[in-house]
């Protein structure tokens, strides 16, 4: 799997593209007009503004990672960018974090103010330096946090990368894709710009498809039903590109005799604020969801398969929204385990005969510690489950994390460093790679297509639905 190495200066020096920003300004897009989403203004002192924003973001957690790095190099052994390009020092996590660390030391750390040359303190000179910073933090890191687990000092490089992304987002110095997805999130309440009409029509369509599959015209996907055991929230990708996952969930809940509902508003469990570093956007999206569960008096929130949605909905969103966490939430993977354990659904692993391996989503495994539950299910619904190595919290990113799929200008570098993931997949000999994340589905699909691998991608819910034994009508609860 030899891949031609690209010239990194072509990535670092990519210009700032503002076509979408200008279109949003010209069309008077509300979130731009009222200032929720910033656009780039070359007439402002953006360096001064960045320093003001940075001052207000210096929490104990951030400062700990700013001052803790001893440049031992162990993070390089964990980063897929650095491992594939070992001759390139700009790919090391320490280098990427140093870009904001140098600024911190120059302006907020006494050592940098007194002896800047000694601690390599520095400051951006102009907007060109900020644009270069944009390409480093958005284009050369997926925020997978593998380096964090490998750091003996506990430095969280992903936090510094996200912090820097958030500062640049406030200046409108972001990739076009990040701006567009942020705009869609603000304007429609979901990151793919799915309209309310399309959402409801898709739910209706899946309801009819599932009725036919179950041979039961009374099957319903409950919408805005109050006092249910849980409110089910989904990834907008399911509406736009993979609606069968909604039907599969409904089929399983039906067989389990579940009391559930979906909200007509506040249904997006993903959150682009995690990727862009925009806490205000993160809080807006998360609050929509929490308020929906409160409005419907749901007893819990169940999150469909999505890595960053799981992380954002379960804990990060409460901080961004400053919202009291008084409702339990869980991944649908945990829900499925409960059904199998309680005998509420029955599965036949022979219906999934092909060899299956599992890809751990970074946000679910490394940040969420949900590693054994997916395997527990796969060993019961698949005839041939094989481990991928390394795995669990040590697994490599699908290369689509951190919002990378929305930033097409960095795809050549992303595909080059995807060689590690391609080699991992090939070594398993599996014909299906299963993951519990819609983002990873697209990331892995890119890898498989680029490296021409004979393997397909599936999710846990799909394999459970395929293995599901649907009770006959006289056996239903």
pLDDT (0 to 100) of residue 172 = 98
pLDDT tens, position by position, 416-464: 999 999 999 999 999 999 999 999 999 999 999 999 999 999 999 999 9
pLDDT (0 to 100) of residue 472 = 82
pLDDT tens, position by position, 127-171: 999 999 999 999 999 999 999 999 999 999 999 999 999 999 999
pLDDT (0 to 100) of residue 80 = 97
Give the residues across from 301 on adjacent strands: 231, 329
Q: Comparing C-alpha atoms, which of 409, 413, 411 is closest to residue 17? A: 409
pLDDT (0 to 100) of residue 185 = 98
Two structure tokens written together for 415: 């595909």
- 15-30 mean pLDDT: 98
Whether 275 contacts 402, CB under 8 Å: yes
Alpha-carbon gap, residue 446 to 430, rounded angstroms: 17
pLDDT tens, position by position, 319-361: 999 999 999 999 999 999 999 999 999 999 999 999 999 999 9
Whether 419 contacts 451, CB under 8 Å: yes
Residue 476 in this model has a pLDDT that exceeds 60: no
Q: Comparing C-alpha atoms, which of 265, 281, 273 is closest to residue 308? A: 273
Q: Kindly state the percentage of the chain with pLDDT values over 90.
A: 97
pLDDT (0 to 100) of residue 2 = 62
pLDDT tens, position by position, 367-414: 999 999 999 999 999 999 999 999 999 999 999 999 999 999 999 999
Confidence of residue 210 (pLDDT cuts 50, 70, 90): very high
pLDDT tens, position by position, 48-96: 999 999 999 999 999 999 999 999 999 999 999 999 999 999 999 999 9
pLDDT (0 to 100) of residue 222 = 98
Confidence of residue 4 (pLDDT cuts 50, 70, 90): confident
Mean pLDDT of the chain: 97
Please count the other Cβ atoms lying within 10 Å of the Cβ belonging to residue 31: 18
- 466-477 mean pLDDT: 80
Return all residues near 354 (Cβ < 8 A) that are at least 6 apart.
384, 430, 431, 432
Residue 179 in this model has a pLDDT that exceeds 70: yes
Residue 474 in this model has a pLDDT that exceeds 70: no
Helix axes 93-108, 127-139, angle to 10 degrees: 140
Whether 69 contacts 94, CB under 8 Å: yes
């Amino acid at each position: 799997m030899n891949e031609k190495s690209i010239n990194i200066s072509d990535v670092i020096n990519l210009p700032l593209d503002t076509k979408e920003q200008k279109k949003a300004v010209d069309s008077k897009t509300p979130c731009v007009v009222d200032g929720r989403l910033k656009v780039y203004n070359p007439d402002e002192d953006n360096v001064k503004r960045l320093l003001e924003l940075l001052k207000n973001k210096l929490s104990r957690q951030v400062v700990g990672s700013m001052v803790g790095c001893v440049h031992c190099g162990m993070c390089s052994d964990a980063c897929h960018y650095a491992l594939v390009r070992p001759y390139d020092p700009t790919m090391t996590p320490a280098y990427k974090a140093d870009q904001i660390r140098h600024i911190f030391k120059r302006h907020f750390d006494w050592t940098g103010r007194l002896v800047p040359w000694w601690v390599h303190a520095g400051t951006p000179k102009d907007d060109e330096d900020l644009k270069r910073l944009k390409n480093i933090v958005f284009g050369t890191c997926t925020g997978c946090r593998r380096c964090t687990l490998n750091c003996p000092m506990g430095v969280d490089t992903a936090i510094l990368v996200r912090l820097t992304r958030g500062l640049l987002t406030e200046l409108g110095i972001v990739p076009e894709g990040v701006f567009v997805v942020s705009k869609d999130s603000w304007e429609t309440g979901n990151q793919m710009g799915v309209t309310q009409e399309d959402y409801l029509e898709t739910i209706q369509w899946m309801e009819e498809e599932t009725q036919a599959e179950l041979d039961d015209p009374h099957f319903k996907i409950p919408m805005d039903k109050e006092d249910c055991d849980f409110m089910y929230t989904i990834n907008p990708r399911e509406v736009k590109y993979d609606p069968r996952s909604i039907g599969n969930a409904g089929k399983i809940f039906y067989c389990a005799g579940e009391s559930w509902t979906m909200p007509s508003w506040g249904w997006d469990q993903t959150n682009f604020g995690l990727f862009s570093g925009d806490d205000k956007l993160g809080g807006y999206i998360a609050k929509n969801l929490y308020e929906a569960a409160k409005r419907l008096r749901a007893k819990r929130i169940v999150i469909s398969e999505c890595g960053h949605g799981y992380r954002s909905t379960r804990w990060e969103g409460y901080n961004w929204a400053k919202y009291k966490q008084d409702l339990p939430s869980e991944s649908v993977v945990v829900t499925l385990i409960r059904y199998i354990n309680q005998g509420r659904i029955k599965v036949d692993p022979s219906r999934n005969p092909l060899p299956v391996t599992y890809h751990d989503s970074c946000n679910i495994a490394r940040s969420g510690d949900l590693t054994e539950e997916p395997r527990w299910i796969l060993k019961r619904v698949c005839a041939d489950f094989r481990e991928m190595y390394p795995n669990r919290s040590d697994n490599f990113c699908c290369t689509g994390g951190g919002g990378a799929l929305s930033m097409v200008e960095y795809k050549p570098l992303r595909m080059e460093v995807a060689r590690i993931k391609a080699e991992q997949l090939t070594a398993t000999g599996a014909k299906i790679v299963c993951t519990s994340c819609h983002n990873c589905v697209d990331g892995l699909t890119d890898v498989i297509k680029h490296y021409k691998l004979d393997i397909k991608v599936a999710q846990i819910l799909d394999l459970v639905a395929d293995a599901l034994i649907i009770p006959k009508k006289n056996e239903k609860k």
